[in-house]
Amino acid sequence: MWLRIATILEPWYEQIAQEARGSAVLHADETGCRVNGQTWWLWCFANGQVCYYMIDRSRGSPALVKFFADADRQPNGCCATATSCSRSWIILTCLLTTTLQNG
C-alpha cells in the first residue's frame, strides 16, 4: 500500500523540489531523527510558496549537494546581511557555495 501511495505522490514531491531549488530565496533547516537506531537528518527547504522535506544520513554539505544536484542553477554567493537571512542560513549558504566551488 505505501509503495502505491509513494508512486502516486512522487511526481508532486519532485515538482515541489524543483520549485524549491529554483527559488530566489530559500530557507533551510535540519533536525535529527532516529531511523532504525541511527541518527538521520530531516531537512526542510522552504520559501513563501513551498516546503520540501528530505531525510538524509548527512547533516552537512553532502545533503545540500544532493538537494541541489538537479538544480538548473547553483547558489553563487552568501547572504549579504544577517537581517535578510538567519545566521544558520548564512552558514549553510556559505558552506554550500564553498563546497560547490571546490568540488
pLDDT-derived band at 59 (thresholds 50, 70, 90) equals very high
Q: Does residue 47 surpass a pLDDT of 50?
A: yes
Q: What is the structure's pLDDT at 30? A: 92
- Read off the pTM: 0.65
Q: Does residue 74 surpass a pLDDT of 80?
A: no
Q: Residue holding cell 558552506?
A: 95
Q: Does residue 98 surpass a pLDDT of 60?
A: no
Work out how many domains the chain is built from and give that number. Answer: 1
If DSSP codes are grouped into helix, strand and coil, which group holds residue 4? helix
CA 74 → CA 21, 57, 87, distances in Å? Answer: 9, 22, 20
Range of the domain at 26: 2-102
Q: Mean pLDDT across the stretch 67-89?
A: 50
Cell of 40: 538521520
- HSE-CB at 78 with a 13 A cutoff on CA atoms is 15
If DSSP codes are grouped into helix, strand and coil, which group holds residue 96? helix
Q: Over the stretch 22-41, which tens digit does the pLDDT of each residue have?
A: 888 889 999 998 888 899 99
